[in-house]
Amino acid sequence: MEFAAFAEDAAAIEAESADLAIVESVRDLFEAAGEDLPTVTRFVQGRVFPAHESTTLDIGPALCYEAIARAAGQNVSAADVESRVATVGDVGEVAADYEFGGQRGLGSFGGGGREALTVGEVAAELDTLATLDGSGSQDRKLDVLFGLFNRTDPDEARYLARIVLSEMRIGVGEGTVRDAIAAAFDVPIEAVERALHVSNDYGLVATVARDEGEDGLDDIHLEIGRPVQAMLAQAGTVSEALGDWGRAAVEWKYDGARVQVHYDGDSVSLYSRNMEDVTDPLPEIVSFVETNLGAPAILDGEVVAVDDDGDPLPFQAVLRRFRRKHDVAKAREEVEVELRAFDCLHADGEDLLDTPLTDRHDRLGSLLSAGVAEVAVTDDPDEVAAVETAALDAGHEGIMLKDPESTYSPGRRGKHWLKRKPDVETLDLVATGAEWGEGRRAEFLGTFELSVRTPDGFETIGNVATGITDEELADLTDLLEPHVRSEDGQTVDVAPAVVFEVGYEEIQTSPTYSSGFALRFPRFLGVRADKDLEDADSLARVERLADHAATGSD
Ligand code: AMP
């Protein structure tokens, strides 16, 4: 395909605003692309290489402006180009404004009479650019880029400049490409989407859709050594998780950096959250996996840095290790990293993306003999709170709540994985009642009734039973027993005297308590020994907090 034809289509797509019309134009482009289809699927998104490849062009704006200036002629400097880009705001427009092609080149293509550029040539030249490295490589990159610009007409120059700087901006996102592949080659959108998820390679998926149809797409599987996009989490609450799923898989949210582990039975490769190859900077993870992983697999997890006591270091310390390309041995002396694997996408020849989370976790446990993240599947908010307390005590960020039945959706920020929002506010509430515990905790007061202050006294707002350790229960019993006014079975009436700091996820109006409000997922954070009753939070404050949450104001 001629690059001029690609540029003309790109201009037409850019001029469209309706989504459907854009998909139709991209479909036409794909149908016309012939052997350049893989490249065209990428160029149209402003990409040069498949998303799973770590290769980058590594061309900054300065080099691109220099190449444009050189192609534009003697009266134009890189500074001129830069200042015009600053005014116009788009390198493509600026490039399209110059008259190229008159310059005798130092580059691979001479100036003078323009020879039509093809998409294949542009791709090949950009491939060459990406391989240039070391001393003198900047000059050689400049030559190649100049050679390309020198052969472009204004439309071609516009899109070449944008592709080179990854600023395509013609309104074509991943969804558009997916829909256009389906429309062009008459295959179901879902089949295209699945194949894209497992391969991350638009060029491959488009070609297979065209040449082999739906069956071919169904045959695209995860490949060890080809990273997939990580499944992502959104913020959520324990109430949501337990309300929606009944039970939740609760894991520590490790304070580290995401890693995808690929092991083919022989060698290990590691990828960051952005699918960059981070194998070389992390040799201790490589040898850990070689030692502990029993079969070829693709795992998902977090790399954490630990100090001499095994306590986690801030995640910046981990990131420094990820970025370190040289002197890895020295960096290792400063910060030692470890793996915490929490998911298994592929095990011993079998793709597990569509397998429920708990089964994937079981597979993970059977394959990896150490470094497996613990998971608790529970419907009990107390157990969730206990995991959270342990995670925070160990110096990690908090907890992840996952739908135990959910499949692995690469690249999705869905509601199947929730990172529990930290409490925004806490309340200082007065303990006005309690219940004697049961079994092992029979001699302790548990479940404490909480009240807010009103001008006339105290009104109840809920009970707290979570977040309290056995040790704290004993202390709280000692603290409250002197204030017990009466007992009725297990239930104890306590005179207002002690102030608790309580975390919660939400305040709701509720007929259950005399204040008219209830706390969702209240957790005991501590006793505010420094606070008197008059310092406890008032009903008025609770009303304000509830109001703000409802209107979203602050
Ligand atoms: P955030 O970066 O705040 O969106 O949180 C999601 C990130 O938490 C993931 O990308 C992981 O890097 C990290 N993480 C730590 N522990 C876990 C876990 N058990 N499950 C999933 N992600 C985790």
Same domain for 406 and 437, yes or no, is: no
Are 524 and 466 in contact, with CB atoms under 8 Å apart? yes
**Cβ 202 under 6 angstroms from ligand 1:** no
Task: Kindly state whether residues 267 and 147 are assigned to the same domain.
Answer: no
Kindly give the number of the ligand 1 atom that is closest to the alpha carbon of 413: 4
Report the alpha-carbon angle 287-293-299, nearest 5.
95
CA contacts within 13 A on the Cβ side of 533:
14
Domain boundary pick from 380, 397, 420? 420
Please state the pTM of the whole predicted model: 0.80
d(CA 345, CA 339): 16
**What one-letter code names the amino acid at 405?**
E
Say yes or no: CB of residue 402 within 6 Å of ligand 1: no
pLDDT value, residue 552: 53
Q: Is 415 a catalytic residue?
A: no
Residues 415 and 438 in one domain: no
Asked whether the predicted pLDDT for residue 440 surpasses 90, the reply is no
Tell whether 264 is covered by a domain.
yes
Read off the pLDDT of residues 401-437 as tens digits, 9 standing for 90 and up: 999 999 999 987 889 999 997 766 799 999 999 999 9
- 449, 434 contact by CB (below 8 A): yes
> Which residue, chain included where needed, has tokens 């050689």?
140
What is the sign, positive or negative, of the torsion defined by CA atoms of 428, 430, 435, 437?
A: positive
Between vectors from CA 207 to CA 206 and to CA 212, what angle results, nearest 5°? 110
Identity at 490, one-letter amino acid code = Q
The dihedral over CA atoms of 194, 197, 199, 200, expressed in degrees to the nearest 10, equals 140
Hey, which residues does 520 pair with through a beta bridge? 506
CA distance 99 to 157: 10
Residue 269 neighbours by CB under 8 Å, 6+ apart: 225, 262, 277, 279
Q: How many CA atoms lie within 13 A of 453 on its CB side?
A: 19
Round to whole Å and give the CA distance between 209 and 218: 10
**For residue 228, which of 320, 126, 352, 319 has the smallest C-alpha distance?**
352
Distance 190 CA to ligand 1 centre (A): 27
Give Cα separations from 509 to 64, 99, 139, 432, 518 (angstroms).
Answer: 60, 69, 68, 20, 6
How far apart, in whole angstroms, are the C-alpha atoms of residue 67 and residue 144? 9
Residue 220 included in any domain:
no
List, for residues 27-39, the tens digit of each pLDDT value: 999 999 999 999 9
Residue nearest to atom 4 of ligand 1 (CA): 233
> What is the chain's Cα-based Rg?
30
| Cβ 241 under 6 angstroms from ligand 1 | no
- pLDDT, position 551: 64
Does 400 sit in the ligand 1 pocket, CB within 6 Å? Answer: yes
- How confident is the prediction for the chain on average, in pLDDT? 92
Q: Is residue 296 part of a domain?
A: yes
Provide the percentage of residues in the chain whose pLDDT is more than 70: 96
Q: Report the residue count for the chain.
A: 554
CATH code (residue 346):
3.30.470.30
Query: Is the minimum distance from the CB of 195 to ligand 1 under 6 angstroms?
Result: no
355 or 315: whose pLDDT is higher?
A: 355
Distance CA 344, CA 333 (A): 30
Residue nearest atom 11 in ligand 1 by C-alpha distance: 258
For ligand 1, whether the C-beta of 343 sits within 6 Å is no
Residue matched to tokens 């880029």: 145
Token pair recorded at residue 130: 């990406």
pLDDT for res 325: 83
Query: What secondary structure letter does DSSP report for 446?
Result: E
Phi-psi region of 126 (alpha: psi -120 to 50; beta: other; left: phi over 0): alpha
Task: Give the CATH number, domain containing residue 80.
Answer: 1.10.3260.10
Ligand 1 atom nearest 251 alpha carbon = 19
Q: Is the pLDDT of residue 107 over 80?
A: no
- Ligand 1 contact, 258 CB (< 6 A): yes
- Confidence band (pLDDT; 50, 70, 90) for 114? low
Query: Residue 502 is part of a domain; what is its CATH number?
Result: 2.40.50.140
Q: Which one of 253, 325, 419, 531 is the catalytic residue?
A: 253
Determine the Cα–Cα distance for residues 354 and 328; give it in Å rounded to an integer. 37
> By residue range, what is the domain housing residue 429?
425-551
Residue 439 lies in a domain: yes
pLDDT at 524: 92
288 and 432 part of one domain: no
Q: Are 269 and 279 in contact (CB under 8 A)?
A: yes
pLDDT in tens, 1-12: 999 999 999 999
| Best of 254, 304, 377, 387 for a ligand 1 pocket test (most atoms within 8 Å of beta carbon) | 254
DSSP 8-state symbol, 168: -
pLDDT tens per residue across span 150-202: 999 999 999 999 999 999 999 999 999 999 999 999 999 999 999 999 999 99
Same domain, 395 and 466: no
The answer, yes or no, to whether any atom of ligand 1 lies below 6 A from the CB of 47, is: no
Measured in Å, residue 228 CA sits from the centre of ligand 1 at 16
Given a cut of 50, is residue 510 above it in pLDDT?
Answer: yes
Residue located nearest, by CA, to atom 18 of ligand 1: 253
Task: Give the residue, by CA position, lying nearest to ligand 1 atom 1.
Answer: 233
Q: Which of 476, 494, 474 is nearest to 484 (CA)?
A: 494
Q: Are residues 349 and 448 in the same domain?
A: no
C-beta of residue 164 within 8 angstroms of C-beta of residue 86: no
pLDDT at 554 over 50: no
Ligand 1 atom closest to Cα of 252?
Answer: 19
- Give the span between the Cα atoms of 203 and 53, in whole angstroms: 12
- Measured in Å, residue 501 CA sits from the centre of ligand 1 at 28
Q: Mutate which of 419, 420, 421 to test ligand 1's pocket (most atoms within 8 Å of Cβ)?
A: 419
Note the pLDDT of residue 102.
60
Confirm whether 207 is domain-assigned: no
Which of 250, 252, 258 is the best mutation target for the ligand 1 pocket, counting ligand atoms within 8 Å of the beta carbon and taking the most?
258
Q: What percent of the chain has pLDDT over 90?
A: 76
Mark whether 386 and 452 lie in a shared domain: no
The crossing angle, in degrees rounded to 10, of helices 19-32 and 3-15 is: 170
Q: Are both 269 and 291 inside the same structural domain?
A: yes
Provide CB contacts within 8 A for 15, sequence distance 6+. Answer: none
Q: Is 254 in the pocket of ligand 1 (CB under 6 A)?
A: yes
**Is 33 part of any domain?**
no
pLDDT one-digit tens code per residue, 272-329: 998 999 999 999 999 999 999 999 999 999 999 988 887 889 888 898 898 888 888 8
CB 360 within 8 A of CB 373: no
Do 384 and 491 have their domain in common?
A: no
Residue 473 inside a domain? The answer is yes
What token pair was written down for 446?
A: 């548990």
Q: Is 342 in the pocket of ligand 1 (CB under 6 A)?
A: yes
> Phi-psi region for residue 21, left (φ > 0), alpha (ψ -120 to 50) or beta?
alpha
Tell how far the Cα of 359 is from the centroid of ligand 1, in angstroms: 20
**DSSP letters spanning 481-540:** GGGEEEEETTEEEE-S--EEEEE-SEEEE-SSSTTSEEEES-EEEEE-TT--GGGSPBHH
Q: How many whole angstroms separate alpha carbon 447 and alpha carbon 233? A: 32
- For residue 250 and ligand 1, the question of a CB distance below 6 A is answered with no
From 137, 164, 191, the end of a domain falls on: 164
* Residue 323 alpha carbon to ligand 1 centre in Å: 19
- 225: phi > 0 → left, psi -120 to 50 → alpha, else beta; which? left
Indicate the number of domains in the chain.
Answer: 3
Same domain? 303 vs 449: no
Q: Is 255 in the pocket of ligand 1 (CB under 6 A)?
A: no
> Is residue 210, in this structure, part of any structural domain at all?
no
Domain endpoint, select from 130, 164, 198: 164
Q: Whose CA is nearest to atom 16 of ligand 1?
A: 253
pLDDT attached to residue 53: 86
CA of 217 to the centre of ligand 1 (A): 30
CB of 322 closer than 6 A to ligand 1? no
Q: Report d(CA 124, CA 476) in Å as an integer.
A: 73
What is the C-alpha to C-alpha distance for residues 170 and 150, in angstroms, rounded to an integer? 23
Q: Mean pLDDT, to the nearest integer, of 323-338?
A: 88
Least confident segment among 223-227, 309-313, 546-550? 546-550
Judge if the beta carbon of residue 373 lies within 6 A of ligand 1. Answer: yes
Average pLDDT value for residue range 129-138? 89
pLDDT number for residue 74:
82
Residue whose CA is closest, atom 23 of ligand 1? 253
Q: What is the mean pLDDT of residues 468-487?
A: 93
Q: 259 with 318, same domain?
A: yes
So what's the pLDDT on residue 178?
97
Least confident among 49-58, 141-150, 211-220, 359-368: 49-58
Residue 111 pLDDT more than 60?
no
Cβ atoms of 125 and 108 within 8 Å: the answer is yes
* Region 352-379 average pLDDT: 97
pLDDT, tens digit (0-9, with 9 covering 90-100), for 382-393 = 899 889 988 988
Same domain, 115 and 139: yes
Element (H, E) at 188: none
Question: Relative to the CA of 419, which ligand 1 atom is closest?
Answer: 5
